[in-house]
Amino acid sequence: MRPFRSLVKKTMRDDEFADIYKYADSGELTGNSRKDKTILIIADRYVIDDEGLLYRMDLPRDKRLAKLKPVVRRLCVPRRFRHEIVKFTHEQNGHYAAQGLFHTLATGFYWKSLFTDASEFCKTCEVCQRTTVNFGHKYAPLNPVAPPDFLGSRFSMDHKTLTRQTMGGNNAVLVIVECFSGFAHLIPVPDMTA
């Protein structure tokens, strides 16, 4: 008798794992060529243990971790049990951000939307929302400058240094722009002092 009978039954009926469970258990394919291609490509990553639980086997990406733990075995969780697992893990391990919750869950469990579910759960947690620090850039409020009302009401000016001295001995240009029309006056000056 299998102690995890309800989990096995839910996994067999779950829309995400039903086809791969059926293939790993009995070798049957769905008959849909598109689904069958995917199942055949990923079938070597899934294994069913003695209790009938479906596991996903992954190799660590980091070479140092591969020496310590060559294969990571993660339980495939049906949709019905996901919320309880996320909630329990989040409450037991403290109110960390979504990244911390995801990494904790990913060591032992697998489903396609694991990161999304962990992020959404953290967004609904009141304690996490109160304790999370927002490191986003805080912009200063913008105060727009009113456009000029008529010609000659506002001018902008600035100096522009030249790369070389002109024949008249000038090293800079005083640029004056009339703001209403955008007309520029360029006045050569010997240096950038007023």
Average pLDDT over residues 141-158: 88
Interval 123-142: pLDDT, tens: 888 887 777 666 777 777 78
Shared-domain flag, residues 162 and 173: yes
Interval 180-191: pLDDT, tens: 999 999 999 998
Interval 37-56: pLDDT, tens: 988 888 888 888 888 888 99
Q: What is the predicted pLDDT for the residue at 1?
A: 37
Task: Reply yes or no on whether the pLDDT at 3 is more than 60.
Answer: no
Task: Reply yes or no on whether the pLDDT at 4 is more than 90.
Answer: no
Shared-domain flag, residues 83 and 72: no
Shared-domain flag, residues 19 and 69: yes
Is 142 within the bounds of a domain? no
Shared-domain flag, residues 1 and 70: yes
pLDDT band at residue 155, thresholds of 50, 70 and 90?
very high
Is 121 within the bounds of a domain? yes
Is 139 within the bounds of a domain? no
Shared-domain flag, residues 72 and 112: no
Is 166 within the bounds of a domain? yes
SS (H, E, C) 126-181: HHHHHHCCCCCCCCCCCCCCCCCCCCCCCEEEEEEECCCCCCCCCCEEEEEEECCC
Interval 68-116: pLDDT, tens: 777 888 988 888 888 998 998 888 887 777 888 898 898 889 999 999 9
Q: What is the predicted pLDDT for the residue at 175?
A: 95
Shared-domain flag, residues 104 and 174: no
Q: Which range of residues forms the domain containing residue 109?
A: 79-132
Shared-domain flag, residues 1 and 72: yes
Is 137 within the bounds of a domain? no
Shared-domain flag, residues 45 and 92: no
Is 145 within the bounds of a domain? no
**b/e per residue 92-121 (b: at least 16 CB within 10 A):** eeebbebeebbebbeeebbbeebeebbeeb
Is 146 within the bounds of a domain? no
Q: What is the predicted pLDDT for the residue at 10?
A: 67
Shared-domain flag, residues 1 and 54: yes
Q: What is the predicted pLDDT for the residue at 190?
A: 92
Average pLDDT over the chain, rounded to whole?
A: 84
- 99 vs 160 pLDDT, higher one: 160
Is 183 within the bounds of a domain? yes
Q: Per the structure, how many domains does the chain have?
A: 3
Average pLDDT over residues 174-179: 94
Cα torsion angle, 151, 155, 160, 166, sign = positive
